[in-house]
Amino acid sequence: MVLAGVLSGCGNGDTLERFDGPTMGSHYSIQYVRHSAGPGPKKVQAEVENILAEVDRQFSTYRSDSDVERFNVLPANSCQIMPGPILELIRVGEQLSVQSDGSFDLTVEPLLNLWGFGPQSREEQVPSTEALALVRQRVGHGHLRIEGDRLCKDAAVEVDFNSIAAGYTVDRIAARLQALGVDSYLAEATGELKAVGRKPDGSAWRIALEEPRDDRQVAERVIEVNGYGVSTSGDYRKYFQQGGRRYSHTFDARTGTPVLHNLASVTVIHPSALMADGLSTLLLILGPERGWDYAEKHGIGVFFVVRDGNRFVTRTNDVFERIIRGTNQ
């Protein structure tokens, strides 16, 4: 969860406009600096909500008429013509899957449903070994292929874009704001965000990174952002406990089970909100050691929160700190 900081102040005839609303079963919010001849909030909101509606029609796993759900109900050895954005994100998902040796995967929806976290779930449960083995036959990015404008599958896989769709949406909104002449804004959808420019008083957009607590929201650290997407993935909101063990909604596709390490949350700061979204999930799956090594190898700015008994320990890398310092200058 990423919380937008309190914003205030204006000058030079510019004003700070704000609007928000529901989206993707959650919430979105836009704050932008309006210059004297710039677009008003009603026009900007209409443009933003057109994007949100299109994303919902294409990517939602909670409506049977979406492009992805119509694909998901198809049997093995089927193809379906897909809009360009879906094919684009399939390629991003393949890239992240390859780079994580298959731990990150867009086809984990059957696993989410089996364990009780998915859109077709009945109850949270630890499945039997037999049920898990059966469902794992329908998981794996290798079962997908793109043929021209068609997405095809050789097994009855189901695609779930929840690990990257919100970041993609934020990038789409950011591009539209720029096209409208808006050069300073904070765009957020379901907790994924991107901040560009500065507020009317010249100060930076401030983002509060949340401490992983089950009972309430507490700011762990406040950062200033300009020109970057920010995404946090954590295991502390959606989980259940059984037999003295905690099972989160974050899955390692290689094992078909929720991750069991002590990495509680990962924040990624990246020029692309889409990549920040996907990478925060990927690193959370990999865990505190493998995830850290991956971030260092690929030059990704990260903020880790690790469980240590009854307390949390935070860790940032040099890339993260350099980005934050650069924003402050």
pLDDT band at residue 325 under the 50/70/90 scheme: confident
Considering the chain, what percentage of its residues have pLDDT values greater than 70? 88
Say if residues 29 and 16 touch (Cβ distance below 8 Å).
Answer: no
DSSP labels, 218-258: EEEEEEEESSEEEEEEESSSSEEEETTEEEES-EETTTTEE
Domains and CATH numbers, the chain: 2-57+171-328 (3.10.520.10), 60-153 (1.10.3980.10)
Report the pLDDT value the prediction gives residue 22, as an integer from 0 to 100: 94
pLDDT digits (tens, 9 = 90+) for 185-236: 999 999 999 999 999 999 999 999 876 655 444 557 899 999 999 999 987 6
Distance CA 246, CA 103 (A): 19
Mean pLDDT confidence for 96-122: 87
The owner of tokens 């950011």 is 174
Residue 161: CB partners within 8 Å, gap ≥ 6?
59, 61, 68, 86, 89, 93, 106, 168
267 touches 234 (CB < 8 A): no
Q: What confidence score (pLDDT) does residue 327 get? A: 62
Specify the pairing of strand 251-252 against strand 150-153: unpaired
Q: What is the pLDDT of residue 12?
A: 62
Q: Does pTM surpass 0.85? A: yes
Average pLDDT over residues 90-119: 91
Helix (H, G, I), strand (E, B), or coil: what is residue 4? Answer: strand
The model's pLDDT over 21-69, given as tens digits with 9 standing for 90+, comes to 999 889 999 999 999 989 999 999 999 999 999 999 999 988 999 999 9
